[in-house]
Structure 1
Amino acid sequence: MRKIITASLVSLSLSAGFAHAQSAWTGGDDLPTNPLACDGTPATPVASAYDGGEPTNAPDRKGKTIKVVDVPKLVGIGYFNATSKGIADAAAELGNMEAKTDGSTKANIDDQITLLDNYITSGVDGILFAANDPVAIAPVLKKALAAGINVVGYDANSEPDARQWFVNQAEFNGIAKAMIDSLAAEAGKDASFAIVTSTFTTPNQARWIAEMAAYQASCYPDMKWLETVEAQEDNILSFNQANTLINKYGPELKGILGMTSVATPASADAVTQAGKCGQVAVVGLATPNAMKPYVEKDCVKSVVLWNPVDLGYAAAYVLRAAADGDLKAGATSVKAGKLGELKVINGSEILLGAPYVFTKENIGQFDF
């Protein structure tokens, strides 16, 4: 998987830059990073050639009704319920797309591959996916492309040549800056913190963590990165992992960063039950509805995210544009219904927009 990228900084050199880091492993990947400026100066976009794949001998689908399957990391959680709603909303609005969501109740790459393979065999015109593993999922997605199926990713990417386009909810370095800045504002510029993620191989989370590492080392060198733990997108495991961190590090732990919509509310619950509100800051990626109880009680100050309904909606529009032949290699933007024109970045990615920080002042305005 290739992402945003100008500076060259691999995992060992990244970890060497963490103040007091305990080990070389952060849960991030070893790809180059591009940390944003500490003062918020916008990054200069770097043009790059299209690096996505192409369906082989795809039939003329322009304007015709197409059958699309959405296979997210897992089903049954608020976040992917929201992306599924966005896909359904777009399909209804377009009028020429039949879309369904199907997936495992666990974030399991083998289950995801099996589902995709079955849909390739049974026959669909388009596939939307959020990858559990960028490398492991690539062969089955390439099989779909070879069968003439349009393939678009969202939320969590595959290797670029295994799909046509990827709808990126926010640039990885932008998420990283929002997360670390929020932690610094709440827990201090020298805070000791830990991370609860799903798995070390989940592509978007690994990329966020790598960018967070680079940004923290540059802008908050006195912060202490204690540990990164896996929780498998599982509520009970996420709670237990956060509780273990609280007990393991005691008063040294000043913050927990949740990298998933499951880990963040579970970590907030663990902090609440431990009586550590105000002592351990919880900053993370989560849906507003899951976090409202903790935000309203002032146990959580900042929730970083984007609108996952819009993410699914945009992915459906991108797939429709690709199937119609309106979105081709070299494009600089794509029309996405009510979202307007979305930018093409990094060759084959469509950018939804900047991350949004939910607080007590604005979280009540959202319902997802």
Structure 2
Amino acid sequence: MQLHTRIRRGTLATSAAICALSVTLAGCSGTTKDSAKKDSGTAAGNNATANPDAELKKGLKLAFLPKQINNPYEKIVDDAGVEAAKEFGGTGKEVGPSDASASSQVSYINTLIQQRQDAILIAANDPNAVCTPLKNAMKQDIKVVAYDSDTAKDCRQLFINQASSEEIGRSQVRNIAKQLGNKGEIAILSATQNATNQNAWIDFMKDELTKPEYKDMKLVKVAYGDDDDQKSFQETQGLLKAYPKLKGIISPTTVGIAAAARYISSSSYKGKVVINGLGTPNQMRKYVKDGTVEQFALWNPKDLGYLGAYAAAALASGQITGAEGEKFKAGRLGEYEVGKDGEVILGSPAVFDKKNIDEFDF
């Protein structure tokens, strides 16, 4: 898959380049390996040390807890993680709520603790609401890996980030600005108000818009569709009615961009309002081909789930503790290095348009 090739180029960059891109929620400060290991051991409830030569344990039990169980994007991620677990002799499953509210994941974490899972992988709906049960899990030597949307840093050992949050946020603005000639009113259609990843990306979008080249662009509203198709559809309609001069919408969520494109495609706004953001090729193909959407971006969600499974296995097997500088192998994806605050970056997002969209099937 050509997307995989693009992504790996970003992933295999030097540690310095990764650090430069990884200003996700904090800058590249002078945290040492030793202090990072100490922090990681504290988070895990012990003073664990890594054994990079350890073999992956057989029979590991991994549980994926997405933001919501019926989210098509997260289904792709979790299914890939479940399949990856089979490669190293483990088992995986997906469990989760049907809604994306802040506290909806708590009862599932408690159940997974009772089931003695070896690792819980979570895409957090809220960075803090899930912390108490996740800390309880780590005290019982259940490894915790956040993916897609992070928890507070002391509530997990690793965060598997799709790409640098800074790169995702700033590139969203750069992409839509090119389409608009750096002029006009824009809005953002996000997921939930507490979604860690969305908020990090939006902060970088807002910062990017302060640059002189965007002086003729104005962010008029950040709307929230709660990763619900119908609400996202209605929020799109509301934005267009409330802001008649609106020229573009950035939706950094696969549910939101598909809903926005569906509304625009059958309205008088088609060809007049630009839709950009993050989506999957299979969701967006028809809107690209009918001219509703010119381009959008994403990483390979299958690779995200695959990487998450191998990272969780490396933790549960003692190869790594989550300390900065540790390295582990992720099957067909190759070697990865743990960065600051336990962050592991999958790679750089790819842009999809009419020229290349048929090359991808996910």
TM range (shorter): 0.7 to 0.9
What corresponds to 1:39 in structure 2? none
Q: What is the match of residue 105 of structure 1?
A: 98
C-alpha distance after superposition, 1:178-205 (max 9, x if no partner): 2111101112212210111112211000
Structure 2 counterpart of 1:208, which letter? W
Of 259, 269, 272, the match for 2:262: 269
Of 248, 259, 271, 2:252 maps to: 259
Match status 1:233 vs 2:227 = yes
1:183 equivalenced with 2:166 (yes/no): no
1:342 maps to which residue? 336
Q: Secondary structure at the match of 1:237?
A: helix
Instruction: State, as a whole percentage, how many aligned pairs show the same letter.
Output: 35
Question: Do structure 1's residue 310 and structure 2's residue 303 form an aligned pair?
Answer: yes
Spell out, residue by residue over 1:278-325, the C-alpha distance to the aligned partner (whole angstroms, 9 max, x if none). 210000111111101101112101111111110010000000111111
Asked if the contact 2:56/2:88 (under 8 Å) is kept, the reply is: no
Alignment match, 2:202: 209
* 1:56 positional shift: 4.3
- 2:154 paired residue among 145, 161, 168: 161
Partners in 2 of 1:281 and 1:338 — Cα distance? 37
Question: CA, structure 1 residues 176+71, in 2 after alignment: closer, same or farther (shift >3 Å)?
Answer: same
Q: Structure 1 residues 183, 126: CA separation in 2 closer, same or farther (over 3 Å shift)? A: same
Matched, 1:247 2:237: no
Q: Secondary structure at the match of 2:210?
A: helix
Displacement of 1:222: 2.3
Range moving further from structure 2, 62-71 or 313-322:
62-71
Asked if structure 2 preserves the Cα contact closer than 8 Å seen for 1:47 and 1:346, the reply is no
- CA contact 2:55–2:317 (8 Å) conserved in 1: yes
Against the structure 1 CA distance between its residues 92 and 348, is the aligned structure 2 distance closer, same or farther, given a 3 Å change threshold? same
Matching residue within 285, 293, 315 for 1:292: 285
Structure 1 CA distance for aligned equivalents of residues 19 and 247 of structure 2 = 31
Provide the C-alpha distance between the structure 2 equivalents of 1:161 and 1:33, rounded to a whole number of angstroms: 14
State the one-letter code of the partner of 1:102.
Answer: V
**How far does residue 108 in structure 1 lie from its aligned partner after superposition?**
2.2
Q: 1:249 and 1:90 mapped to 2: Cα distance?
A: 46
Aligned-pair distance for 1:343? 3.3
Q: Distance in 2 between matches of 1:173 and 1:343?
A: 19
Asked whether 1:94 is paired with 2:88, we answer: yes
Q: Aligned partners of 1:333 and 1:216: how far apart in 2? A: 36
2:61 pairs with 1:78: no
**Contact conserved, 2:324 with 2:340, CA < 8 A, in 1?**
no
Matched residue type, 1:354: S
Q: Distance in 2 between matches of 1:161 and 1:77?
A: 27
Runs of 4+ that moved beyond 6 A: 31-34
Q: Report the CA distance shift for 1:210/1:257 in structure 2 as closer, same or farther (over 3 A).
A: same
SS in 2 for 1:347: helix
Tell me how far 1:62 sits from its aligned partner: 5.3
Task: Give runs of aligned pairs for residues 316-335 of structure 1, distance below 5 A.
Answer: 316-328=309-321, 329-335=323-329
Q: Which moved more, 1:286-295 or 1:268-277?
A: 268-277
Matching residue of 1:9? none
| d(CA) in 1 for partners of 2:162, 2:61 | 24
What CA distance in whole angstroms lies between the structure 1 residues aligned with 2:274 and 2:337?
A: 34
CA distance 1:55–1:127, change in 2 (3 Å): farther
Pair 1:358–1:85, CA change in 2 (3 A):
same
Unaligned stretches of 5+ residues in structure 1? 7-30, 35-44
Q: Secondary structure at the match of 2:77?
A: helix
Residues of 2 paired with 1:212 and 1:261: CA distance? 17
Q: Which residue type is aligned with residue 343 of structure 2? A: E
Give 1:270 deviation, angstroms. 1.4
Q: CA deviation at 1:79?
A: 0.3
Q: Deviations over 1:30-82 (max 9, x none)?
A: x9777xxxxxxxxxx65534354225499x99523111111010112220111
Counterpart code for 1:114: S
8 Å CA contact 2:19–2:339 kept in 1: the answer is no
**What is the TM-score with the length of structure 1 in the denominator?**
0.84
More helix by share: 2
- Alignment partner, residue 119 of structure 2: 126
CA displacement 1:103-151 (0-9 Å, x = unmatched): 1121123220111111112321111110000011111110100111011
Match for 2:239: what amino acid?
L
Query: What is the Cα-based RMSD across aligned positions, in Å?
Result: 2.2
CA contact (8 A) 1:178 1:355 kept: no
Q: How many residues align?
A: 328
SS at match of 2:328: strand
1:224 — aligned with what?
Answer: 218
Please say if 1:363 is aligned against 2:353: no
1:111 counterpart SS class: coil
Task: Quickly say closer, same or farther: Cα 1:33–1:48, change in 2 above 3 A.
Answer: closer
